[in-house]
Each structure stands twice: as C-alpha cells, then as structure tokens.
Amino acid sequence: MNPIFSMNTLFQNYFARSSKKINIGFYGLGPASFPYVNYQLAELGKKNLALVFPPTSFLRLDCIARACKRTDSSLTIFGYSRGAISAINLCKMLLAKQKNVDFLYLIDPIAYFTNRLSIPENVIQGFVCYQRNGARTPFLFGRFGKGIADYVFCGQKTKNFMIEQAFKIEPSRVVMHEDMVEYSLFKAKITLVSLLNEE
C-alpha cells in the first residue's frame, strides 16, 4: 500500500472526528513492538488517544503539519527520545504556518549535536521530564543520550513550561532512559495519559 495514501486515510479518519482536541505523538528510534518501550506509546494510537508516528521522515512531518493547520481543534504534541526532537520540529513547522500548539509534552529528549533545545513561540504550554542516569547503550556518554537538563532550554523557562527531573521509578531503582515512557505515562507531575484524555 502507498504509505502516503495510507497516511492520508489515517488523517481523514482521525481528523474527521468531532473532537475538540487533536493529539499527535512520536515514539523513539527502534521497534514499536512488545516488549520495547516504544510499544506503550504506539498503543496510544491503537486506543485512539493520539496519532502516533516513528520519529523519522521530514516528509511525514510536513504532511502532519498541513493536516493540523486545517483544523480548529486544540493541539497537543508529544514525543519520546528522538521523537521529542520530531515533536519540536513539528511545532516549528506549525509556527511557520501560524498555527498554535496548545501543549508540547517532551519525554527525555535526545539531541545529538547540540546542547540546547529551542521551544518555538507558538507553544502555549509545555512539560518535559528527563533523567540524567544514562541510556541502555553504554557508548552514549555526556549529554549524548542521557536526557536533557533544564538549562538546555537556553533560558526558556517560560511561565507555562514545566520541567521535571526523574530520579527513581521505584524506591530502590534508578530511572534510566528506557524507563521514561512508563514514568511519563503514570508517575510524572503531569501524566501523558491524563493530558491525552482531557477534553
């Protein structure tokens, strides 16, 4: 099946709903099947809580941005790991189209070649949860793959953007990068599940 055709069909089915809110999400690099952590985010799409995509493809982002521009519904965008970078890039595309993003939710963003993330001006509210304890892969060192500390937002601690560092997923177990999806869904100050279920 033509991926552009199937994507357009997906958009039509999702955006045709009479919902006052549109949720768009991106999981991280790697498989989205069980038991990988991306699976939990992909399941949100199967439960019709969001349209959920892999983190890659500039063409996909442009198609999503055009679909979002055509709706009057409020817009929530979320992303995990490299998917968080895709979420930010989608917000930037929507800024160029003069479309506001009502809420941007970032889960442990991984930026490869930069030490700062710039949140576009069209983001009205936001939340980021991150950890500094490392990822599953040993060669990810320094900031590279170990979460994004609050200072990387280059002074953009805006009045409506909350930042939370996660330390432990359980009383005795330190949070790692791959734990952050579960943390965001159920344990964060603002849980992704509650945000997506809001009307």
Instruction: For residue range 28-40, list pLDDT tens digits in order.
Output: 989 999 989 999 9
Burial label, 179 (beta-carbon count in 10 A; 0-12, 13-18, 19+) = buried
Q: Provide the whole-model pTM.
A: 0.86
Per residue in 50-83, pLDDT (tens digit) is: 999 998 877 789 889 988 988 888 999 999 988 9
Q: How many CB atoms lie within 10 A of CB 120?
A: 17
Q: So what's the pLDDT on residue 161?
A: 81
